Amino acid sequence: MAAGRRVMSNAGVAAALVALLVVAAAAGAAGYHVCDVDTDSMVSNCRSYCTVGSTEASPSGACCGAVHGGDFHCLCKYKDVLPKNIDANRAMQIPGKCGYGATSC
């Protein structure tokens, strides 16, 4: 890991991703980038895994690809916005299931 780089918990990343889903959906998402994540791609590829009642075993490769390379520290500022239709426990699984390291806000 690079010196001086912050590490955030999987929960922090997940909360940030979920919050970003909400922000992107509210903004219309088309071609919109937040924290180096294409929100249109993230919303369309990750929402089904995070939605309350989802039975998907893991996030899709497309979901992992959509959030790959994102600036997770930047996403921390969105962690307090959690929509009611998103299962936060499932969202917290995304970083680990996609093979991203432990992170902390």
| The CATH number fitting domain 10-97, selected from 3.40.50, 1.10.110, 1.10.3470, 1.10.357 | 1.10.110
**What is the reported pLDDT for 62?**
96
Q: What does the pLDDT look like over 25-45, one tens digit per residue? A: 655 545 678 888 887 888 889
Flag whether the pTM goes above 0.75. Answer: no
Read off the amino acid at residue 46.
C
**What is the reported pLDDT for 71?**
76
**What is the reported pLDDT for 53?**
95
- Across the range 44-51, mean pLDDT stands at 90
- Domain limits of the chain? 10-97
